[in-house]
Structures are given as structure tokens and as C-alpha cells.
Structure 1
Amino acid sequence: MAKQSIFGRVAQLAKANVNAMLDSAEDPQKMLDQMVRDYTDNIAEAETAVAQTIGNLRMIEEDYTEDVQASSDWGSKALAASSKADEFRTAGEAASADKFDSLAKVAIQRQMQAESEAKTAEPTISSQREIVEKLKTGLDAMKSKRHELVSKRDELIARAKSAQAQNQVQEAVKSIDIMDPSSEVGRFEEKIRREEARVRGAAELASSSLDTQFNSLEDLGEQTEIEARLAALKAPNSAPSLTTGSEQ
């Protein structure tokens, strides 16, 4: 029953539709990891069962071979005893002849017993050989399926990591998007623009103040000239001059 149970699990696992199971799984990676572990455990268990079945088969085969050989040996002994009995009977030694005929009968009986045992073992050997072949086939199917699962798991993990890496890159690009006014770069650019505007305003203000000072100087020069001329008019013995700043 144990061997049949293991063989049943081998057949069931070998026929498993991996793609369908992946479609219905919430976490394919964890499911595949668990399936790989289950397959590995069942393979080890099935290998033990196959080894035990093969060992039992070899024992039965050895017993069968011994029975066949014993049948042949007892047949030879029966023939030898019968021939000896015939010799004694020809020689007129009836008692000795009967003795060897009795030995021949015993040998024949042993021969028949060995033949019966060998014949009884034949269907068992045939059945055990069939079971061994089925178990070996099941094991090969399981190993093939396990290889498929491992490949599928590795592919899935690689795809998941690739998708995760692409998502991280996209998120990183979003976080440094200089066109985003709310980003750090946008705020820094706006700060620089305000500082540049402040510098231009200060320069413009400074320029305006300088022009005012020069205009004040010009007004001051004109007033000084007026005061000087007025003083000259009031000075004694002074005559008005029509030409500004000219003397004879």
C-alpha cells in the first residue's frame, strides 16, 4: 500500500498543470518555492520506495533462480538414482534396486516442489517488475517537472526583480523632474531668479542715485556763479560786464 500511495502522488504531481496553478496563486513565487520543496521531498521518498521495491524484486528473483536450479539438480539426482536402481535390478539385486527407486522418488518429489515454488513466484516477479518500471517512470516525470518548476520560478523571480527595478527608476525620475514646480530643483531655480532680480533692482537704484548727485552738483555750480556775480555788482568801483568771465 505504501508503494502504491507513493506512486499515486508521483503520478498526480507529474500531471500537475503548473501554468494553471500560477494563474490562481496569490504569490506565485512562494507557491513555486513550496512546490519545489514538495517535489524534492516526494522524489526522495519515492526513490527510497523504488530502491526497496527493487531490493525485494531481486530477492524474489534470486529465490526463483535457486528454485529453478534446485529443480534441475533434483531432476538429475532422480535420473541418477533411477539409473542405479535399474543396474541393481539387472544384476538381480532387487532390494538395492528398490532402495534407489525410493531415492529417485524422493528426488522427483523435491524436483516437483522446487518447480511449484518457481512457478508460484513467476507472477509475483512479473508484477514487481511492472511496479518498478512504473515507479521509475514516475520518478523521471517528477524530476522533469521539478526542473520545469525551478526554471519557471527563476524566470518569475527575474521578471519580478526587473519590474521592481524599472519602477524604482521611474520613481527616481519623477522625484527629480525639473519641470515640476513643486520639486526641489524648481524651488531652487525660483530662488535664484528672485536673487538676480534683487541684484538688478539694486543696481538700477544705485545708478539713479548717482545721476541725482551729479544733477545736484550742476545746480550748485550755477548758484555759485549767480552769487559771485551779485557780489561783483555790489563791490565799489565795479562796472557791469556784458561778457561773462571776460576782462580787457
Structure 2
Amino acid sequence: MFKFFKRVKTVVGSELNSLLDKAEDPVKMLDQYMRDMESDIREVESAVAKQIANEKMLKRKYDDAQALVEKRQGQAEKAIESGNEDLARRALEDKKDQETQTETLKESWERAKADSEQLRKKLDEMKKEYQQMQLKKDSLKARAESAKTRTKMNHAMSSIGNDESKQGFERMEEKVLQYEAEADTSDDMSESSKSLDDEFEELERSDVDDELDALKKKMNKE
């Protein structure tokens, strides 16, 4: 019954090494171990309750037998006082039988009482160990989750600078440069496609603008 507790204590005390070596999920395994420990505790609690009930039953029988011994003693004395020796003898004979039974019941009760105390002590130890394992389980679960998160982050960060990602990034950069070069080429082609008349028209437009500026200056002076 208590072997499981020792095994769980060893597993948890090993800082999850054996679990990790077997590729088991530490968080799920720890939860399962705690549930098994709770089941063991309930089993021991039931055994303790039955043992205590047995102890109380034996104590009650012992007390009843002891009371009957005292009763027969009183009856024998009363019979002697009444001059009934035969009745007194029979009372003493039954008293002797009850004394033998009383000693047997006393031994059984004391043995049951010792067993009850031992079981209660074991139960207290199990509950104390369970509480300690509960605290350690919470700590180990947090550490396991933290380790998983760090591993995922390290994998993600390592993939950022790998050759495949770097080459892909460089390809996209080349595409952007290509788009910019095509845009510049398009501008140059647009400039070169202007006709001679277009250029003269722009020149004439420039002369008109100059004449308009000169007129504005003259009018402002007047």
C-alpha cells in the first residue's frame, strides 16, 4: 500500500530525468501520479476507519466483560452474606470464566489499538508527503512549461537566421530593386518619347510665363 508513495517520491525527487528520458509529458505524468497518491490516501483512510471501528468494538466487549467480572464478585459476596454458599460458588466460577475472557479481549483490544495508532501515523505521514509532493509538483510543472516555451522560442529564433530564410529575404530584396529599376527605365523612356513639337511647345510656354512675370512686376511698381 505504501510502496507507491516511495516510488512517486523517488520519481519526483529525480527532477523529471527519468520521465524526460522516456519522452513522457512531465506535466501529465505528475498530475497522474498525484491522482494515484490521492487514491492511496483514500484507501488508507478507509482502512484506518475500519481499524478504529474494530478497536472500539473490542474495547466495548472488554469493558462489558470487566463489568461482568465485577458484577459476579458482588453477587458472590451477596450470596455469602445470605448464607447461600452454592450460589456464591457458581458466581465465582462464572467470574473466573469471565476473567479469562476479559484477558483475551484486553489483549485483542490493546493489539487493535496499537494497529490503529500505527495506521494513523502512516496516514499522517502519507498526507504530509502528499502536501510536499503537491508543492514540488507545482514547481516542476512551472519549470517544465518554462523549458518548453524556451525551446520553442529558441527554435523560432534559430530559424530566422538560417540559410533558407536568408536566401528568401535576399530574393525579395532583388525583386524590389528590379521593380525600382523598371520604374526608372519607364521614366527615361517617357522622356525620350517626347516629339520635337512637344519640346518647342514647352519652350514657348516658358517664354509666356516669363512675360507674365515681367508684367506683374511692372503693374506693382505703378
Match of 2:140 among 136, 143, 149: 149
Residue 134 of structure 1 deviates from its aligned partner by 2.3
Residue 131 of structure 1 pairs with residue 122 of structure 2: yes
Residue 67 of structure 1 deviates from its aligned partner by 1.8
Q: Counterpart in 2 of 1:241?
A: none
What amino acid does structure 2 have at the position aligned with 1:6? F
Asked if 2 retains the 8 angstrom alpha-carbon contact of 1:64 and 1:118, the reply is yes
Segments of 4+ moved more than 3 angstroms: 153-177, 206-211
Residue 174 of structure 1 deviates from its aligned partner by 9.1
Residue 89 of structure 1 deviates from its aligned partner by 1.2
Residue 11 of structure 1 pairs with residue 9 of structure 2: yes
Q: Counterpart in 1 of 2:220?
A: none
What amino acid does structure 1 have at the position aligned with 2:5? F
Residue 41 of structure 1 pairs with residue 32 of structure 2: yes
Q: For the residues of structure 2 that align with 1:182 and 1:44, how far apart are their CA atoms? A: 57
Structural mapping, 1:154-193, within 5 Å:
154-159=145-150, 182-193=173-184
Deviations 1:114-164 (A, max 9, x none): 110012223322322232122212322332233223323443455456667
Q: Counterpart in 2 of 1:197?
A: 188
Q: For the residues of structure 1 that align with 2:198 and 2:13, how far apart are their CA atoms? A: 95
Q: For the residues of structure 2 that align with 1:35 and 1:167, how far apart are their CA atoms? A: 25
Alpha-carbon spacing, 1:153–1:126, altered in 2? closer, same or farther (3 Å): same
Q: For the residues of structure 2 that align with 1:125 and 1:132, how far apart are their CA atoms? A: 10
Asked if 1 retains the 8 angstrom alpha-carbon contact of 2:20 and 2:26, the reply is no
Q: Counterpart in 1 of 2:85?
A: 94
Q: For the residues of structure 2 that align with 1:208 and 1:15, how far apart are their CA atoms? A: 94
Match of 1:66 among 54, 57, 73: 57
Q: For the residues of structure 1 that align with 2:32 and 2:93, how far apart are their CA atoms? A: 61
Q: Counterpart in 2 of 1:221?
A: none
Percent of aligned pairs with the same residue? 11
Residue 58 of structure 1 deviates from its aligned partner by 1.6
Q: Counterpart in 1 of 2:108?
A: 117
TM normalised by structure 1 equals 0.65
Q: For the residues of structure 2 that align with 1:193 and 1:129, how far apart are their CA atoms? A: 91
Bigger radius of gyration:
1
Aligned-residue RMSD, C-alpha = 3.6
- Greater helix proportion: 2
Q: Counterpart in 1 of 2:94?
A: 103
Residue 51 of structure 1 deviates from its aligned partner by 1.3
Residue 15 of structure 1 deviates from its aligned partner by 1.6
Q: For the residues of structure 1 that align with 2:152 and 2:187, how far apart are their CA atoms? A: 46
Residue 12 of structure 1 deviates from its aligned partner by 1.1
What amino acid does structure 2 have at the position aligned with 1:80? K
In the alignment, structure 1 segments of 5+ residues that lack a partner are 212-248
Q: For the residues of structure 2 that align with 1:87 and 1:145, how far apart are their CA atoms? A: 70
Q: For the residues of structure 2 that align with 1:17 and 1:91, how far apart are their CA atoms? A: 82
What amino acid does structure 1 have at the position aligned with 2:15? N
Asked if 2 retains the 8 angstrom alpha-carbon contact of 1:86 and 1:97, the reply is yes
Residue 209 of structure 1 deviates from its aligned partner by 11
What's the secondary structure of 2:188's corresponding residue? helix
